[in-house]
């Protein structure tokens, strides 16, 4: 390690510090920065030339001066120590303890950037996870190893929904649930507190590793945080064989921090000022989830994305949707009607559902029931729109049945208690109650056998 | 040139862009960078400096480390053993990398794409004699690469000349010579079963030819409504989740191409695994063999280095051209060309080039056109006709089709399958929007359909599209003033359009019967729905109330027909059609009787 410190800072701006007259410093290496009050900060080399180095300073560049700032190049990449002792602990964005307990000591150290999983080392995720939430399990089922974000808006109950998933998620064929890696980026103290209390009261705290960067913590640290958290998740999943559920909130804060730094760096902006590499950058995070051949553990990822002005075409949800394997979309309209969880099923999607449900996984009618419910609800929404124009009294009898169905769907299928843990069979039976509002021969997406077996005949 | 001058020194590392002081470096040349020997390519020269884009993460590289110029452009290995494989964006064999290096992709590891240990049974071309003048791309003989694909060994670029010796039939490994040639410069060189080709140089052919037959994909909305010719270019734009990948995988699975090259360019790892795990278990619908035997994957997933993403498209194209040159109809699917364009953008941004639209460099349109231009049906050098059909997915930000990549692509391609979020959200799959899509080849395709299936094809297709466009108009009226404002005939049009949508256009990739429809089945389904429409319309004219028709149970049967009968059961569909005609006749009779008694 080079013990030499450099006092040759030439510029500081927006979390970036440039230093010249440096030796050949490796790209990506860790840096220690000492300010005029002798306080230490951490940094990473993000551009390196023969005589000048650009450093992103995780604690930010506030209060630095150019004269008395000392920089030491640590000659090692950004790594964290890993051990089973991680569980139950709270860390900051670069893996330093935040809970007044000693740092993790271990000979297992990993580069936080990880490296890409070889596609031929993966296995396709197909094991159903029961979350106990009908709109997810029934229509947008989550499977082990999937990356499924929650698209929300400010003020919507995404935290409560995610906390409910954390409490209830379980695998069908295995005892024991998930280990949780919780990554909070730029969240309010109240939100962080909410999760911590929820983990405590449900008794899972010992199975959780928390990485927390609050809204008033330095934004640059948010850039490292998801990588650090995923490095821990990979260790728990692929070294220690656990099933790990990674919850990240809020990707929007992460992307904004990225924009801040990239702007300071002078990168060419693409949409809304976000850098052109936002897609690749997010993919580096999201693609770390999955299943690997011959490994028992898995990483399932549930990031929260609050859509700026509820706009799903905003670059952050948009690029997220292009990378993840579906999305759970929350609706302000349902929330205003007091429906919890306000999951809007039509724009929601789970792309991996098809291989995780059905005869051997949930129940044989599941795929067709989902498709039928979906089709009816889509039609019902059209009729709702029509009814709002011409009035419900003008509608035909069939159309009025659709309206009744839509109301029952929102009120009974979508709505459920925060502690209500519905089994998949309960969810499917509930679905059949709703389907039975229609004559059997109009249910073209389910099979004759399904109808004979599951349809409630008394309601015909 | 001395060895010394082929070396450079790292000056700067800026993400994937590394600047070297490297006098004498050549544009496009491959470089090994630093102590880790990362692979890169020279993309700009300025004075003594060479700007290199690295195909691997540059983390840990240090200014002052050395780089070595390899004096050759990015090339691929072409020879037997490609099919069934999965390669990364610079053609490293991913399966072998997994065996050698484990779950994650290591840096600086170089493995040859083709297995040197395997032996292939070579049968020399009987037409060739000593003294034959060989030109690049001429066949030397064949090996059986898979059960169904006969691999023609072609003359390598630097091996044209006079044939001196050709090995007898027998088993050879890739490095074993199978002959000798005297090249025009007088040198005597060995012939082998494989050769290298620089990926950015299109392979030569005799002449271009025009497309004559549609690529049959088994997907009704594509084949029947917006056909794509073998050897032409198509695009599938759509917002996330609209079904681009599903559609491309369906095409990969069911199309009547000889060889399918699937390039996962900046998309999900799991989607490639899906193909890798599923295809070997599936049957090639045309030969009955494993589907994987005709398939080859090139994978640069979204978390793999962005520069190799740009290369992956060219790697795929070169492989496609190579099989085309053996006389095959090759289909290349690229998912997604937007990620390729973004890779270009990223590199140009780091080079400080002037962005023109949404950060993209000015050369976006010309590069895109050059990529698509490598598709085509050609007369090959020595193996008759071959074709490369190129279908690119496009992922417009926010689903906005006016963005640069979609807009430029639209000008280049001939078939445009526009996916719509509204249709996908309504569960209408494939979500190909019949208003925004087009095919410039309907007329050529019609020739094929009229010859092979039914002379009524083009007319039926047009009536269906006309009905759908009236449906759009009528729906607007309904949404303003309600259905009561419509006449019986108009309401029947709405109902019939719904039949076309559900019974013909919608096609579930997940349904084991419906996921493929032969041209004959496609035509019959269309015919059934249009016949119902027409017969119903006639009855309405005679005064039968539309409500009576809506109650007919045959409507549900027609909707289910696609799942009820497979492509092998077209006789059942014909019976169904006849039955329906009779049922309508029945209704007519009953109604006239009823009219008479009440009169
Ligand atoms: N033909 C189809 N039949 C049934 N379901 C389909 C079909 N096409 C698409 N889907 C549904 O839509 C989902 C999304 O499709 P797909 O992954 O192909 O979207 P995409 O356009 O490639 O999205 P992205 O741009 O994010 O990659 C699928 O997981 C499936 O649920
Ligand atoms: Mg896709």
pLDDT interval class at B1 (50, 70, 90) = very low
pLDDT in tens, B389-431: 999 999 999 999 999 999 999 999 999 999 999 999 888 999 9
Q: Do A326 and A385 lie in a common domain?
A: no
d(CA B62, CA B56): 15
Instruction: Give the model's pLDDT for residue A386.
Output: 86
Say if residues B2 and B25 touch (Cβ distance below 8 Å).
no
Q: What is the dihedral of CA A235, A240, A243, A244, to 10 degrees?
A: -30
The neighbouring-strand residues paired with B73 are B29
Chain A CB within 8 Å of residue B482 CB: yes
* pLDDT tens readout for residues B148-161: 899 999 999 889 99
CB within 8 Å: A116 and B482: no
The CA distance from B453 to B462, in Å, is 16
* The dihedral sign for the CA sequence B475, B477, B481, B487: negative
Give me the CATH number covering residue A64.
2.40.30.20
Using CA coordinates, name the residue in chain B closest to A324.
B268
Residue B551 pLDDT exceeds 60: yes
Other beta carbons within 10 angstroms of residue B6's beta carbon come to 18
Residue (of B320, B312, B314) closest to B296 by Cα position: B320
Q: Yes or no: say if A347 and A167 are a contact pair by the CB < 8 Å rule.
A: no
**A326 CA distance to ligand 1 centroid (A)?**
9
For the segment B92-137, what is each residue's pLDDT rounded down to a tens digit? 999 999 999 999 999 888 899 999 999 999 999 998 888 889 999 9
| Mean per-residue pLDDT, B64-91 | 94
Chain A CB within 8 Å of residue B339 CB: yes
**What does pTM read for this prediction?**
0.94
Q: Same domain, yes or no, for A203 and A146?
A: yes
Q: CB–CB of A354 and B59 under 8 A?
A: no
For A382, nearest residue in chain B (alpha carbons): B479
DSSP 3-state of B563: helix
| DSSP one-letter code for A147 | B
Give A210→chain B minimum CA distance, Å. Answer: 24
CB-based contact A82:A106 (threshold 8 Å): yes
Give the rounded percent of residues in chain B with a pLDDT score beyond 90. Answer: 82
Q: Give backbone dihedrals phi and psi of A292, rounded to 5 degrees, phi first.
A: -120, 140
- Give domain status of residue A460, yes or no: no
* CA gap B286, B283 in Å, rounded: 8
List B44's β-bridge partners, or say none: B51
**Shortest distance, CA A256 to any CA of chain B (angstroms):** 18
Distance from CA of B199 to the nearest CA of A (A): 23
State the distance from the centre of ligand 2 to the C-alpha of B337, rounded, in angstroms.
Answer: 11
* A10 and A113 share one domain: no
Cα–Cα dist B565/A431, whole Å: 28
Is A389 in contact with B345 (Cβ distance < 8 A)? no
CB pairs under 8 A between A and B: 207
Nearest CA to ligand 1 atom 11: B243
Instruction: List residues, by chain if needed, whose CB lies under 5 Å from ion ligand 2.
Output: B 244-245
What is the sign of the dihedral through the CA atoms of A131, A132, A136 and A138? positive
- Compute the distance from residue B217 Cα to the ligand 2 centre, in Å: 18
CA distance, residue B474 to nearest chain A CA (Å): 14
- For the segment A258-275, the average pLDDT, to the nearest whole number, is 90
Residue A112 and residue A215 share a domain: yes
Q: HSE (CB half, 13 Å, CA atoms) of A166?
A: 32
Rg (CA), chain A: 25
- Structural contact between residues A277 and B346, judged by C-beta atoms closer than 8 angstroms: yes
Nearest CA in chain B to A112: B59
- Distance from Cα B239 to the centre of ligand 1, integer Å: 10
In a domain, A361, yes or no: no
Put simply, the chain B residues between 196 and 235 with a CB less than 8 A from any chain A CB are none
Sheet of strand B170-173, all strands in order from the earlier edge strand to the far edge: B150-154, B139-144, B119-124, B170-173
pLDDT digits (tens, 9 = 90+) for A130-169: 999 999 999 999 999 999 999 999 999 999 999 999 999 9
CB < 8 Å to B482, chain A? 386, 389-390, 394
Q: DSSP 3-state assignment of B159?
A: coil
- How many residues comprise chain B? 599
The answer to whether residues A117 and A243 belong to one domain is yes
**CA nearest to A236, candidates A246, A248, A227:** A246
The partner residues of B261 in beta bridges, in order of sequence, read B296, B332
Average pLDDT, chain B: 93
Single residue among A76, A111, A138 that ends a domain in this structure: A76
Nearest Cα residue to B135 out of B56, B40, B206, B49: B206
Domain shared by A310 and A380, yes or no: no
Same domain, A291 and A377: no
B241-278, pLDDT tens digit by residue?
999 999 999 999 999 999 999 999 999 999 999 988 88
Confidence of residue B354 (pLDDT cuts 50, 70, 90): confident
Burial string for B53-69 (b: 16+ CB within 10 Å, else e) reads: bbbbbbbbbbbebebbb
Query: Residue B355: which of A116, A121, A268 has the nearest Cβ?
Result: A268
Give residue for tokens 């990926």. Answer: B199
In a domain, A459, yes or no: no
| Residues in Cβ contact with B10 at an 8 Å cutoff, skipping those fewer than 6 apart | A24, B18, B19, B20, B33, B34, B61, B62, B63, B64, B65, B66, B67
Ligand 1 centroid–CA A356 distance in Å is 16
- Give how many domains chain A has, as a whole number: 3
* Token pair recorded at residue B23: 């006098």
In a domain, A286, yes or no: yes
Residue A204 lies in a domain: yes
Give the residue on A whose Cα is nearest the Cα of B421: A347
ipTM of the complex: 0.92
Distance from CA of A377 to the nearest CA of B (A): 9
Q: How far apart, in whole angstroms, are the C-alpha atoms of residue B345 and residue B26?
A: 22
A3 has pLDDT over 70: no
Alpha-carbon dihedral B199, B204, B208, B211, rounded to 10 degrees: -50
Is any Cβ of chain A less than 8 angstroms from the Cβ of B95? yes
Residue A449 tokens read as 């056998």
Give the model's pLDDT for residue A391.
Answer: 83
Say yes or no: B97 contacts chain A, CB-CB below 8 A.
yes
Q: In chain A, what residues touch B13 (CB-CB under 8 Å)?
A: 27, 47-49
Question: Do residues A439 and A451 touch, judged by C-beta distance below 8 A?
Answer: no
Which has the closest alpha carbon to B60: A5, A188, A26, A7? Answer: A26
Q: Report if residue A101 sits inside a domain.
A: yes
Query: Quick one: B596 exposed, middle or buried, by C-beta within 10 A (0-12, 13-18, 19+)?
Result: exposed
State in Å: Cα A324 to ligand 2 middle.
Answer: 10
Locate A30 and state its tokens: 């860790």
Atom of ligand 1 nearest to the CA of A322: 26
Paired tokens of B280: 């070997």
Q: Which domains are present in chain B?
A: 4-73 (2.40.30.20), 115-193 (2.40.50.100), 207-442 (3.40.50.300), 457-598 (1.10.1140.10)
Beta strands A90-91; B150-154: pairing state: unpaired
Residue (of A84, A72, A68) closest to A45 by Cα position: A72
Minimum-distance ligand 1 atom for the alpha carbon of B509: 3
Domain end point (choices A298, A330, A354): A354
- Give the containing element (helix H, strand E) for B411: helix B404-412
Average pLDDT for chain A: 93
Task: Out of A150-154, A455-459, B84-88, B90-94, pick the least confident.
Answer: A455-459
For residue B208, CA distances in Å to B213, B376, B384, B386, B493 come to: 15, 7, 12, 10, 45
Question: Could you tell me if residue A359 is inside a domain?
Answer: no
In the structure encoding, which two tokens stand for residue B256, read together? 């009547």
What is the number of the ligand 1 atom nearest to the C-alpha of B219? 1
Q: How far away, in angstroms, is A323 Cα from ligand 1 center?
A: 13
Of the pLDDT bands very low, low, confident and very high (cuts 50, 70, 90), residue B493 is very high
Which of the 8 DSSP states describes residue B283? B
Mean pLDDT of A354-373: 93
Domain final residue, candidates A45, A76, A107: A76
Q: B254 C-alpha vs ligand 1 centroid, how far in Å?
A: 17
DSSP B228: -
Instruction: Return the residue matching tokens 């295809």.
Output: B279
Token representation of residue A420: 């209500």
Tell me the two tokens of residue B242: 């609209």
- The answer to whether B170 touches B141, Cβ cutoff 8 Å, is no
Is A288 within the bounds of a domain? Answer: yes
| Average pLDDT, integer, range B325-346 | 95
> Chain B partners of A314 at a C-beta cutoff of 8 Å?
398
Burial A412-446 (b: 16+ CB within 10 A, else e): ebbbbeeeebbebeebbebbbebbbbbeeeebbbb
| A446 to chain B: closest CA residue | B560
- Count the neighbouring beta carbons within 10 Å of the beta carbon of residue B569: 14
Residue A273, Ramachandran bin (φ over 0: left; ψ between -120 and 50: alpha; else beta): left
Alpha helices in A23-157 (DSSP H): 134-137
pLDDT value at A458 more than 60: no
Residue A86 sits in the same domain as residue A106? yes
- Looking at residue A22, its pLDDT comes to 83
CB contacts of A77 in chain B (<8 Å) are: 59-60
Residues A85 and A62 in one domain: no
Q: What is the DSSP string of B424-445?
A: HHTT-SS-B-TTT-EETTHHHH
Region of residue B338 (phi > 0: left; psi between -120 and 50: alpha; otherwise: beta): alpha
For B520, the enclosing helix (H) or strand (E) is helix B519-541
Contact: A116, B104; criterion CB under 8 Å = yes
User: Which helix (H) or strand (E) is B235 found in, with range?
Assistant: strand B233-237
Quote the Cα angle for A134-A138-A144, to 5°: 100
A26 and A148 housed in the same domain? no
How far is CA B307 from its chain centroid?
Answer: 21
Answer with the residue of higher pLDDT: A22 or B532.
B532
Judged by CB atoms closer than 8 Å, whether chains meet at A117 and B107 is answered as no
Answer yes or no: do B105 and A118 touch at CB < 8 A: yes
Q: Residue B3's pLDDT band (boundaries 50, 70, 90)?
A: very low
Kindly list the residues from chain B whose CB atom is less than 8 angstroms away from the CB atom of residue A367. 510
Residues A46 and A195 both lie in one domain: no
Q: Domain range for residue A401?
A: 366-454
Residue list, ligand 1 pocket, CB within 6 Å: A 321-322, 349, 351; B 238, 240-246, 267, 395, 429-430, 508-510
Tell me the C-alpha distance between B440 and A248, whole Å.
47
Point out the residue among A26, A119, A292 whose CB comes nearest to the CB of B61. Answer: A26
Both tokens assigned to B279: 């295809």
Tell me whether residues B98 and A277 touch, CB distance under 8 A: no
Q: Mark whether A336 and A448 lie in a shared domain.
A: no
Contact B235, B419 (CB under 8 A): no
For residue A175, give both structure tokens: 């005892």
């Amino acid at each position: 390690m080079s013990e030499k410190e450099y006092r040759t800072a030439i510029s500081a701006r927006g979390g970036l510090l440039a230093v010249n007259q440096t030796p050949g410093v490796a790209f990506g290496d860790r840096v220690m920065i000492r300010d005029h009050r002798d306080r230490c900060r951490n940094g990473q080399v993000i551009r390196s030339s023969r005589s000048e180095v650009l450093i992103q300073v995780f604690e930010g560049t506030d209060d630095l001066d150019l004269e008395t700032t000392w920089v030491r190049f640590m000659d090692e990449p950004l790594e964290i120590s890993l051990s089973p002792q991680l569980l139950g602990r709270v860390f900051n964005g670069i893996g330093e303890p935040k809970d007044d307990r000693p740092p993790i000591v271990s000979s297992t150290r990993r580069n936080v950037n990880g490296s890409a999983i070889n596609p031929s080392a993966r296995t396709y995720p197909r094991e159903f996870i029961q979350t106990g939430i009908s709109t997810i399990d029934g229509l947008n089922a989550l499977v082990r190893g999937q990356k499924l974000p929650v698209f929300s808006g400010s003020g919507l109950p995404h935290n409560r929904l995610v906390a409910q998933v954390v409490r209830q998620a379980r695998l069908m064929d295995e005892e024991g649930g998930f280990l949780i890696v919780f990554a909070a980026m730029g969240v309010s103290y109240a939100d962080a507190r909410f999760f911590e209390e929820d983990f405590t009261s449900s008794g899972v705290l010992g199975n959780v590793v928390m990485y927390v960067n609050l809204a008033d913590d330095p934004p640059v640290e948010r850039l490292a945080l998801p990588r650090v958290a995923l490095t821990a998740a990979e260790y728990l999943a692929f070294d220690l064989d656990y099933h790990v559920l990674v919850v990240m909130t809020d990707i929007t804060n992460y992307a904004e921090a990225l924009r801040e730094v990239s702007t300071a760096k002078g990168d060419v902006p693409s949409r809304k000022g976000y850098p052109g590499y936002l897609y690749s950058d997010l993919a580096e995070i999201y693609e770390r989830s999955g299943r690997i051949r011959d490994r028992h553990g898995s990483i399932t990822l549930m990031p929260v994305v609050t859509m700026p002005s509820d706009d799903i075409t905003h670059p952050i949800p948009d690029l997220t949707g292009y990378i993840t394997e579906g999305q759970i979309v929350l609706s302000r309209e349902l929330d205003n009607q007091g429906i919890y969880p306000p999951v809007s099923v039509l724009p929601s999607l789970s792309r991996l559902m098809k291989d995780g449900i059905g005869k051997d996984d949930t129940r044989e009618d599941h795929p067709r029931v989902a498709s039928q419910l979906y089709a009816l609800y889509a039609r019902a929404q059209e009729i709702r729109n029509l009814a709002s124009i011409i009035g419900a009294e003008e509608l035909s009898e069939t159309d009025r049945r659709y309206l009744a169905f839509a109301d029952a769907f929102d009120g009974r299928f979508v709505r459920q208690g925060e502690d209500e843990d519905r089994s998949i069979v309960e969810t499917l039976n509930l679905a059949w109650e709703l389907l039975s509002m229609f004559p059997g021969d109009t249910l073209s997406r389910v099979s004759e056998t399904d109808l004979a077996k599951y349809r409630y005949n008394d309601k015909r | 040139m001395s060895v010394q001058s082929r070396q450079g020194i790292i000056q700067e590392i800026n993400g994937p862009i590394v600047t070297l002081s490297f006098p004498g470096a050549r544009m496009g040349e491959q470089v090994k960078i630093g102590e880790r020997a990362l692979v890169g390519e020279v993309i700009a020269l300025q004075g003594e400096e060479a700007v290199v884009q690295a195909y691997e993460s540059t983390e840990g590289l240090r200014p002052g480390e050395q780089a070595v110029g390899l004096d050759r452009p990015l090339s691929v290995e072409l020879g037997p053993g490609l099919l069934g494989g999965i390669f990364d964006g610079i053609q490293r064999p991913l399966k072998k990398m997994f065996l050698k290096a484990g779950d994650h992709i290591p840096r600086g590891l170089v493995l040859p794409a083709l297995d040197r240990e395997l032996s292939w049974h070579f049968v020399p071309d009987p037409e060739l004699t000593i003294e034959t003048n060989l030109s690049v791309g001429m066949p030397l003989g064949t090996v059986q690469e898979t059960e169904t694909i006969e691999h023609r060994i072609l003359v390598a670029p630097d091996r044209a000349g006079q044939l001196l010796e050709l090995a007898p039939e027998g088993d050879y490994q890739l490095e074993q010579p199978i002959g000798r040639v005297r090249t025009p410069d007088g040198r005597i060189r060995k012939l082998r079963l494989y050769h290298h080709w620089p990926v950015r140089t299109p392979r030569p052919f005799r002449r271009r030819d025009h497309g004559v037959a549609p690529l049959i994909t088994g997907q009704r909305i594509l084949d029947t409504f917006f056909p794509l010719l073998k050897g032409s270019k198509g695009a599938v734009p759509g917002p996330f989740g609209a079904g681009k990948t599903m559609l491309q995988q369906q095409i990969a699975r069911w199309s009547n191409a000889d060889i399918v090259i699937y390039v996962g360019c900046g998309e999900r790892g799991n989607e490639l695994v899906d193909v890798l795990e599923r295809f070997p278990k599936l049957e090639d619908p045309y030969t009955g063999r494993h589907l994987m035997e005709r398939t080859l994957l090139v994978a640069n997933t979204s978390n793999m280095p962005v520069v190799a993403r740009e290369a992956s498209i060219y790697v795929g194209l070169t492989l496609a051209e190579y099989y085309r040159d053996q006389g095959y109809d090759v289909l290349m699917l690229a998912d997604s060309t937007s990620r390729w364009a973004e890779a270009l953008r990223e590199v140009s941004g780091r080079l400080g080039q002037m962005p023109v639209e949404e950060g993209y460099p000015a050369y976006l349109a010309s590069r895109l056109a050059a990529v698509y231009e490598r598709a085509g049906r050609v007369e090959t050098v020595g193996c008759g006709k071959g074709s490369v059909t190129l279908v690119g997915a496009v992922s417009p930000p926010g689903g906005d089709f006016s963005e640069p990549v979609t807009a430029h692509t639209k000008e280049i391609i001939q078939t445009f399958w526009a996916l719509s979020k509204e249709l996908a959200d309504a569960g209408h799959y494939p979500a190909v929007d019949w208003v925004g899509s087009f095919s410039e080849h309907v007329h050529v395709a019609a020739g094929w359909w009229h010859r092979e299936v039914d002379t009524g094809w083009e007319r039926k297709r047009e009536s269906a599209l006309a009905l759908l466009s009236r449906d759009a108009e009528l729906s607007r009226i309904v949404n303003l003033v309600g259905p009561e404002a419509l006449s019986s005939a108009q309401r029947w049009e709405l109902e019939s359009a719904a039949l076309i949508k559900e019974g013909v256009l919608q096609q579930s990739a997940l349904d084991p019967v419906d996921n493929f429809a032969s041209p004959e089945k496609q035509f019959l389904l269309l015919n059934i729905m249009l016949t119902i429409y027409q017969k119903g319309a006639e009855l309405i004219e005679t005064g039968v109330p539309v409500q009576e028709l809506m109650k007919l149970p045959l409507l549900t049967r027609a909707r289910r027909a696609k799942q009820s009968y497979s492509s092998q059961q077209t006789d059942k569909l014909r019976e169904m059609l006849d039955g329906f005609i009779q049922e309508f006749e029945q209704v007519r009779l009953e109604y006239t009787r009823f009219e008479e008694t009440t009169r």
